[in-house]
């Protein structure tokens, strides 16, 4: 059975990358479509998080195949995925802020009723955006357009294994560049740390997509990427929550409660920044 499986994997890895696109994209489109539909009935933090992750994976897959398709159309479709992920993410941002401040037993607890109301208001807007965007047709149109373009390509196709190695290599170089930049940056330069998180997430998705057709094992790399994603994700949660609270301070509560919450988030951000920085060495 193993020999038969190896033969199948060999056949797939040597097939043109253009032919493989739909086998990667179609299940992701189906999952994102189902999750978007489900958000209408399930407004839980986990449902919104799954939708945002699914859309980010789609965006990463389209980035992976960008060299094989029209640049302008690929950029437009990736922008659509980013827009939809942002719509789902706005409510998720309130969930993260509420969860973080729920760990604080100071005056920040007085903010909870207004934070919960802000979350409900944002959810209504997110739902309306996703419904009006007609996610199902947007995603299926993108799949059909890109699949048709790749199918119509007249040039001999590059083997999937070689193509996957090239794209993962490009993503790895991007991550190393951003790690180097962040290691030299001041700790107040959060953008440099955020770039590491995004680059690490993209590379992890590519390994998850293409790992089975690549030669050699990648468990060590994936383990490090997961650690980067976790620590830098926790840092991003603190930074984004602090910014969200500042941006909405006027409508939430009195100045004393806001300042207490911001002070607590500031300490949390600094601790998480130190933890994230340890992975840059």
Full pLDDT tens readout for the chain, 281 residues: 343 334 335 567 888 899 899 999 999 999 999 999 888 788 777 888 899 999 999 999 999 999 999 999 899 999 999 999 998 888 889 999 999 998 876 667 788 889 999 999 998 888 888 888 889 999 999 999 999 999 887 676 789 999 999 999 999 999 999 999 999 988 778 899 999 999 999 999 999 999 888 877 678 888 888 898 999 999 999 999 999 999 998 888 777 788 888 999 999 999 999 999 888 86
Architecture per CATH, 17-158:
Up-down Bundle (1.20)
Instruction: List every span in the chain annotated with CATH 1.20.120.
Output: 17-158
- CA distance linking residue 217 with residue 215, whole number of Å: 7
- List the structure tokens of 176: 């190393």
- pTM of the entire predicted model: 0.87
187 within 8 A of 216, measured Cβ to Cβ: no
The 3-state secondary structure of the chain, one letter per residue:
CHHHHHHHHHHHHHCEHHHHHHHHHHHHHHHHHHHHHHCCCCCCHHHHHHHHHHHHHHHHHHHHCHHHCCHHHHHHHHHHHHHHHHHHHHHHHHHHHHHHHCCCCCHHHHHHHHHHHHHHHHHHHHHHHHHHHCHHHHHHHHHHHHHHHHHCCCCCCCEHHHHHHHHHHHHHHHHHHHHHHHHHCCCCCHHHHHHHHHHHHHHHHHHHHHHHHCCCCCHHHHHHHHHHHHHHHHHHHHHHHHHHHHHCHHHHCCHHHHHHHHHHHHHHHHHHHHHHHHHHC
Phi, psi for residue 159 in degrees, rounded to 5: -60, 140
- CA distance linking residue 17 with residue 39, whole number of Å: 33
For residue 149, what are the CA distances in angstroms to 13, 65, 66, 92, 255? 21, 12, 12, 35, 56
């Amino acid at each position: 059975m193993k020999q038969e499986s190896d033969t199948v994997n060999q056949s797939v890895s040597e097939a043109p990358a253009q032919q493989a696109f739909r086998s990667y994209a179609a299940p992701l489109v189906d999952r994102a479509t189902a999750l978007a539909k489900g958000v209408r009935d399930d407004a839980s933090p986990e449902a919104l998080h799954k939708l945002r992750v699914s859309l980010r994976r789609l965006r990463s897959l389209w980035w992976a195949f960008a060299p094989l398709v029209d640049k302008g159309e690929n950029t437009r479709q990736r922008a659509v995925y980013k827009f939809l992920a942002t719509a789902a993410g706005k409510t998720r941002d309130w969930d993260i802020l509420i969860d973080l401040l729920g760990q604080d037993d100071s005056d920040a607890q007085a903010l909870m009723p207004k934070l919960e109301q802000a979350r409900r208001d944002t959810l209504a807007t997110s739902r309306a955006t996703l419904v009006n965007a007609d996610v199902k047709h947007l995603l299926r149109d993108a799949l059909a357009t890109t699949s048709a373009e790749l199918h119509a390509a007249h040039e001999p196709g590059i083997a999937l294994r070689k193509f996957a190695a090239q794209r993962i290599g490009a993503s790895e170089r991007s991550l190393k560049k951003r790690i180097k930049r962040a290691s030299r940056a001041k700790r107040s330069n959060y953008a440099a740390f955020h770039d590491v998180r995004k680059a690490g997430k993209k590379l992890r998705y590519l390994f998850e997509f293409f790992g089975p057709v690549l030669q050699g094992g990648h468990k060590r790399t994936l383990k490090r990427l997961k650690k980067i994603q976790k620590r830098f994700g926790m840092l991003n949660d603190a930074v984004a929550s602090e910014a969200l609270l500042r941006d909405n301070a006027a409508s939430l509560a009195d100045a004393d409660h806001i300042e207490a919450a911001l002070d607590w988030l500031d300490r949390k951000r600094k601790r998480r920044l130190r933890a994230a920085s340890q992975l840059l060495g």
